[in-house]
Amino acid sequence: MKNKTIFLEFNGIPGSGKTTLSNRVITDMKSKNYLIESYHQVIKKPTRKNSKHLLLYLFRIKPGSVKIGYLATMYLITNKKLNHENWLRVISLVVLFDFYQKKGQDCGDEVILVDQGIVQQIISMLYESELIADKYVKKLICFAKKKNVGLYIVNVDLDINISFERLVKRKGNMSRIQKLNEADAIHTLTIQQNNFNKIRKIIKELELESLDVNTKACIDETVQVIVNYIMRIKDH
């Protein structure tokens, strides 16, 4: 692992602190001269607006990326969530996994933090629906593990009410949950947390390595826990 790219996915309900935490980890490790960056800063991602560029990109993807798209589509069908918006999320998953595979071939000593990764996307596809079939969740995670792209998971937890309070105070791009009234938002966050719990159980059963943190704790301590986790992975 010392000369392989590490992808660290941060997963948790909206407002749990994924982006804040990943940004702090990047700042901390960069100050110690480690090669670390956010996924959004290193990928040359095709946009939906430029359909020609997107199509050309998809024609050049690796075969494994096609498989992840198939598994994601079957996941949507079995959970009865096949719609236009989720089709776009399938494309995002294909692009993400293709990036994992190609970047992993560079054999660079690099850490890339992802706050909208595979698990986060499959939760977002459900949005405010309970996970009713986990067959293709297991297949997705098994496939990602089998491909050995250097994927690791950080499960970010926070009390649902505190997460909602953070969302209310957040400025900038509005999430879908921020547009709901308090009762509906809490209800949606509760469903999402339950879905995360189900998928985290699958992750542990399939032995994809993961770390659990809670952002209610001191941010500096939590950042140090994640930094130590990354260093253990690199030294493995």
Domain-embedded: residue 1: no
Query: Can you give the pLDDT of all 236 residues of the chain as single tens digits?
Result: 445 899 999 999 999 999 999 999 999 999 988 999 999 888 877 666 667 777 787 788 888 899 999 999 999 999 999 998 899 899 889 989 999 998 887 767 899 999 889 999 999 999 999 999 999 999 999 999 999 999 999 999 999 999 999 998 888 767 888 888 999 999 999 999 999 999 999 999 999 999 999 999 889 999 999 999 999 998 87
Number of domains in the chain: 1
Report yes or no on 207 lying in a domain.
yes
DSSP 198: H
| 48 part of a folded domain | yes
Flag whether 128 is in a domain: yes
Cβ atoms 216, 33 nearer than 8 A? no
* Alpha helices (runs of H) in 43-132, residue ranges in sequence order: 51-59, 63-78, 84-104, 118-126
Q: Does 51 fall in a domain?
A: yes
Q: Is the residue at 219 inside a domain?
A: yes
Other residues' Cβ atoms within 10 Å of the Cβ of residue 128: 16
- C-alpha 66/C-alpha 11 separation (Å) is 23
Query: Which amino acid appears at position 225 of this protein?
Result: V
Q: Which of 187, 232, 24, 31 is nearest to 115 (CA)?
A: 24
Which CATH number fits the domain that encloses residue 158?
Answer: 3.40.50.300
Q: What are 38's strand-pairing partners?
A: 113
Reported pTM: 0.90
